[in-house]
Amino acid sequence: MNVGVIGAGRMGLPIIGHLARKGFATLVYDIDSGKRAAVQERGARWVNGIAQLAAESDVVLVCVGYDEELRQLFPQLAGSARKGAIHAVLSTVNPRTVQALAASAPAGVAVVDATMCRGGRAADEGTLLCFVGGDAATVERLRPVLAAFASDIVHTGGAGSAQVAKAANNLILWACLVADHEALALAQRFGLDVEQLRKALGMSSASNDALAKWGTQTMAWAEDDMAIVAEMAREHGLELPQSEVTREICRALKPRRYKLDQYGK
């Protein structure tokens, strides 16, 4: 099976390495040709355009950043796609974007979403969680490819449903990180050993993944993730007041990273 990957960034590059090591013929395209050497070092083949990648790939994994990039990219994929191909969106975007792409896919080409959770370290280790949205038969065909870099694969429903699952994950993740910041800042102000407390909290009802990975998350995607959540809520007439507050706090926390002594200033 030939697997094409579009996007050799923080998540895409380790995924490329896992695919090549697991024996998939892996083709890669990225708009940044400077990534070519790193791709080739991982055993994959660099191609010079989306059309060539689509024409040679049974499965295409798309790891680009934003909705607009997907909308610009997919017509190029569709124009050269193999019949029977699966095009999987690994990006975090609005569910309706994936649904629109799936609806406009050429006959014989399946568009699904396969969102990734657990972050960069899990990508490096090949232990990602993938939520997958698409029809059951297509998901089963895609499963061996995802299993090259994901230790857990959950079918969430039709196309776009994996984006909903990822949005729920992100909403909880960033809310926990905000709570962790405030709790540890409070403890520090009262003179407690923050690292000792963090470890203790990990054994209590306060345990959460963001606390376990304290100090390692960049918050680079927090605002974008929460913007997608807000957009989804508006589209369906749903008020999520805590999410709006979390979004604003994440915006303020991002430049501080984990500097607890800056609270109250």
6 has pLDDT over 90: yes
For the record, the structure tokens of 216 come out as 């390692």
pTM exceeds 0.85, yes or no:
yes
Q: Which helix (H) or strand (E) holds 45?
A: strand 45-46
DSSP H stretches of helix in 147-257? 161-189, 194-201, 209-212, 222-235, 241-253
At 116-166, the pLDDT tens digits run 999 999 999 999 999 999 999 999 999 999 999 999 999 999 999 999 999
In whole angstroms, what is the distance from residue 32 CA to residue 265 CA?
40
CA-to-CA distance for 218 and 243, rounded, in angstroms?
19
Is the pLDDT assigned to residue 264 strictly greater than 80?
A: no
Token pair 């996007």 in the structure block, residue = 7
> How far is the C-alpha of 2 from the C-alpha of 162, rounded, in Å?
24
The pLDDT, as a whole number, for residue 47 is: 97
**Residue among 101, 177, 109, 98 nearest 131 (CA):** 98
